[in-house]
Amino acid sequence: MTSPPTSPPAGPAPGSPTGPGPGPVGGAARHRPATPAEGRLALSSGLAACALAWRAGPSALLLSLLCSLFVGLLPAGTALLVSDLFDGLAPAGGTPAGAPVGTCVLLIAASLGLALTPSLGEYARARSSRAIRLRVQEELFDAVNRLPGLRNFEDPRFQDELRLAQQAGGIAPDLLVGSAFSSLQALLTVSGFLATLFVVNPLLGGLTLLLTLPLVRVQLAAGRRRAAVLRETMPRNRRQMFYGSLVADVDAVKEIRLFGLQDFIKQRARTELVAVAAAENLTDRRNLAWRLPASLLGVAVYGLGLVWAVRAARHGELSIGQVSICLAAVAGIQAGVGQLASTGSSAYQAAITFAHYRALSSAEPDLVLPAVPLTPGPLGGTIEFQDVWFRYHEDAPWTLRGVDLTIPAGSVTALVGLNGAGKSTLVKLLCRLYDPGRGRILWDGVDIREFTPEAYRERIGVVFQDYCRYDLTAGENIGLGRLAHLQDAERLTAAARAAGVHERIGRLDGGYDALLSRIFMPEGAGTGWGHSLSGGEWQRLAVARAFMRADADLMILDEPSAGLDAAAEQEVHDSLRELRRGATSVVISHRLAAVRDADRIVVLGDGQVIEEGDHERLMALGGRYAELFTLQASGYQDAAPGSAPMPGAMPGAVPGAMPGPVPGPVPVPGHPVHQR
């Protein structure tokens, strides 16, 4: 057998993630001035968030908009009515004529509007907010589901972006819409008061407007800084959430209590949270330092307007009504500009963070998707690895290095090797959770990249060593293996029987409808607690889930019986053999006795195929396989002449595995037991 090359072709692996990671907490990026590009990004993100809110619930959004318009126009109108009322009661140089009835009626109507409209607007906003949350959840799931591979999810930078997208998607659209409507309301209020103030004194109106602009700029800069610190502290926030999740994780709590890790976990979480809080405190102090001068300018404007109005009234240049509207206008402009700046700052911050949501929504798939996909047919020939190279990112060493491997249809192929040899990586490529960096994988002569991942995976069944434990019912835990048959009780039962877990499920309160969870309560009153299974029982459920695809063209078994005792292991392998007789299987196991009857055994080492053949040939070769097999068997051989053998010892088993009697070779799925 020709040895594969030991160095890769030139160039990085396609699909390797690139780009800088998040900056350090407290980095200079947080304090740099806003760039035009950042402003355009905030604007486009804001428009996109508003569009999302419109898609979620246009009627509630329109009602909220109308309420904001009405509330924004009322203050200036009310001030004009009050001025008219004062001038009617105390006209300049004349006798009071009494309160105008029409003005009083209008003031009462305005008061009624101010009393009712906010409640109606709050109702509309709540409806819109609920619709937005539902829409965001659907779009987030769709965005994540559009990424068919694993590369992004094993990248810490993507995890940061995903968490930011989840946060931004949950709050940014609602906050942006609310801020936009509040800003519109404030803008209408300011515009109305400015119009009235310009009529009374154009100079004072212009000066008021000019001196309030710095507050707007300061607030927008504050929003940008808050968005930056949120982005930069996300790695620490994620670590803090990880430590926090450990205190409620049942499996983690066992070790935490046993090893006395409570204070250690608490201190780790505190360290991350303190660092985040320090960065946020620094940002808040800087924002406060910039906001104080702008606020003092606003007070100066109000004082200037007050002095001028009082002086003008004493000289008979203004009536009492004009003085009231002047003071109301200056105060209203100040309040309106403050509201405009505050909501604008929140909107700017939300718009910048919403860019993460948009980036996730538009993320390119991490696998090559064909323009015109082919449909994979039943496997009738071979699966071939042709000069396959792979590494997890461009700076990592190559995990697979020039692998050439043929898996004939209808055969059992076993993959063995030490930890880190590349077995799990090869399975990930075979499941098309990743694409090779170099080379290709052929399904009956067709590159699997010519198929959609979904169509290709429909022809595969798999039992992973790190299988999932879903906090769902027992039936759902099995039925997820073939979702189209989730409600097929006969198929569920058959899969459970084959995996040897049917009787255990039958003893549960509720049977296949029993909830397998200790973190959720079953739905409905009086249904009791959820159930907990042992590790071996969970593994049987995972095998049953794979048995839902007993008709798959390819079955991949990654340590399918590692958590089982010897008798259970024998039972599972018997079931696999019967279900997969004459079908194609790939088996990974550290127990070489469990794969000795495979049609072909492929030995991986350092990302390369170093040996292949059946058990007898590899033992006769005296290479790595023979060395490993002999080493495992030696753990169960007599330690010295005359010593008694270990009761129930399994020849060839991994030292430390559960002992048990084995009458003959352990059967392999799809391959009959050889009689010797």
Q: What is the DSSP letter of 476?
A: H
pLDDT of residue 14 exceeding 80, the answer is no
Distance CA 507, CA 510 (A): 8
- Is 12 a domain residue? no
Who's near 81: CB < 8 A, 6+ residues apart? 103, 106, 107, 110
Q: What CATH number has the domain bearing residue 284?
A: 1.20.1560.10
Residue 318: closest CA among 191, 210, 199: 199
Mean pLDDT value of segment 579-589: 83
Q: Does the structure show a pLDDT above 90 at 443? A: yes
335 has pLDDT over 60: yes
4 in any annotated domain: no
| Residue 279 confidence (pLDDT) | 87
pLDDT the model gives residue 473? 92
pLDDT at 16 exceeding the cut of 90: no
Diameter over CA atoms, the chain: 130
First-to-final CA distance of the chain: 29
Q: Quote the pLDDT of residue 493.
A: 94
One-letter amino acid of 642? G
The DSSP secondary-structure symbol of 487 reads T
Domain assignment of residue 421, yes or no = yes
* Same domain assignment for residues 336 and 455: no
Predicted pLDDT at 28: 36
pLDDT at 7 over 60: no
Rounded Cα distance between 617 and 112, Å, is 94
Do 608 and 487 share a structural domain? no
Are residues 187 and 165 part of one domain?
A: yes
Higher pLDDT, 382 or 14: 382
Task: Say how far apart CA 388 and CA 474 lie, in whole Å.
Answer: 39
Q: Are residues 499 and 411 in the same domain?
A: no
Q: What is the pLDDT of residue 421?
A: 86
* Distances from the Cα of 65 to the Cα of 129, 142, 192, 348, angstroms: 14, 29, 18, 19
Residues 232 and 334 in one domain: yes
The sign of the torsion formed by the CA atoms of 251, 253, 259, 264 equals positive
Tell me how far apart the alpha carbons of residues 604 and 405 are, in angstroms, rounded to a whole number.
11
- Other CB atoms within 10 Å distance of the CB of residue 277: 13
Upper half-sphere CA count for residue 492 (Cβ side, 13 Å): 21
What CATH number is given to the structural domain containing 497?
Answer: 3.40.50.300
Q: Is 374 helix (H, G, I), strand (E, B) or coil?
A: strand
Residue 647's pLDDT band (cuts 50, 70, 90): very low
> How many distinct structural domains can be found in the chain?
3
Residue 439 — pLDDT band, cuts 50, 70, 90?
very high
Buried (b) or exposed (e) across 628-652, using 16+ Cβ within 10 A? bbeebbebbeeeeeeeeeeeebbeb
**Is 80 exceeded by the pLDDT of residue 460?**
yes
Half-sphere exposure of 280 (CA within 13 A, CB side): 13
Indicate the pairing of strand 412-416 with strand 584-588: parallel
Q: Are residues 117 and 131 in the same domain?
A: yes
Region 465-471 average pLDDT = 85
- In order of 124, 200, 315, 321, the CA distances from 89 in angstroms are 40, 20, 20, 9
Q: Please state, in angstroms and as integers, the Cα–Cα distance from residue 473 to each residue in 212, 470, 501, 508, following that order.
A: 61, 8, 14, 11
What pLDDT sits at residue 97? 52
| Across 106-119, average pLDDT | 77
Q: Are 383 and 556 in contact (CB under 8 A)?
A: no
Within-domain flag for 669: yes
pLDDT category of residue 18 using cuts at 50, 70 and 90: very low
Residue 6 lies in a domain: no
Q: Are residues 416 and 287 in the same domain?
A: no
The pLDDT of residue 96 = 53
The better pLDDT of the pair 5, 219 is held by: 219
In this structure, the answer to whether residues 282 and 355 fall within a common structural domain is yes
Cβ atoms 655, 590 nearer than 8 A: no
Q: Is residue 79 in some structural domain?
A: yes
Same domain as 453, residue 343: no
pLDDT (tens digit per residue) in 512-521: 999 998 777 7
So what's the pLDDT on residue 98? Answer: 54
- Whether residue 633 lies inside any domain: the answer is yes
Residue 663: what pLDDT? 33
Q: What percent of the chain has pLDDT over 90?
A: 21
493 and 600 both lie in a single domain = no
Q: Give the pLDDT score at 451.
A: 95
- Of the candidate ranges 42-46, 77-81, 380-384, 388-392, the one whose mean pLDDT is the lowest: 77-81
* Alpha-carbon span 338 to 302, nearest angstrom: 13
pLDDT digits (tens, 9 = 90+) for 521-566: 776 645 567 788 888 888 889 889 988 988 889 999 887 766 677 6
Which of 527, 547, 567 terminates a domain? The answer is 547
CA separation for the pair 350, 176 (Å, rounded):
6
- What is the pLDDT averaged over residues 110-129? 80
Based on the fold, state whether residues 45 and 188 are members of the same structural domain: yes
Checking if the pLDDT of 29 tops 50, the result is no
Tokens of 82: 């009050």
Q: What is the mean pLDDT of the chain?
A: 77
CA 141/CA 143 separation, integer angstroms: 5
With tokens 């906001």, the residue in question is 291
Mean pLDDT, range 504-518, rounded to an integer? 89
Per-residue pLDDT averaged across 103-128, rounded? Answer: 79
User: Are 264 and 149 within one domain?
Assistant: yes
Would residue 375 count as lying in a domain? Answer: no
Cα–Cα dist 359/44, whole Å: 12
Secondary structure string (H, E, C) spanning 420-475: CCCHHHHHHHHCCCCCCCEEEEEECCEEHHHECHHHHHCCEEEECCCCCCCCCEHH
Most confidently modeled of 42-56, 167-181, 446-460, 639-653?
Answer: 446-460
Range of the domain at 317: 34-361
Residue 582: pLDDT over 50 = yes
Last residue of a domain, which of 529, 547, 565? 547
Mean pLDDT for the stretch of residues 599-616: 92
Q: Averaged over 602-610, what is the pLDDT?
A: 92
How far lies 299's CA from each of 39, 187, 294, 330, in Å?
A: 30, 20, 9, 10
Q: pLDDT at position 563, please?
A: 66
pLDDT of residue 619: 93
* Whole-number percent of the chain with pLDDT over 70: 79
Last residue of a domain, one of 511, 527, 547: 547
**Does the structure show a pLDDT above 90 at 182?**
no
Tracing tokens 């140089």 back to the chain, one arrives at 93
Least trusted range by pLDDT, from 224-233, 273-282, 445-454: 224-233
CB–CB of 318/309 below 8 Å? yes
At 600, phi and psi to the nearest 5? -140, 140
Distance in angstroms (rounded) separating the CA atoms of residues 20 and 5: 32
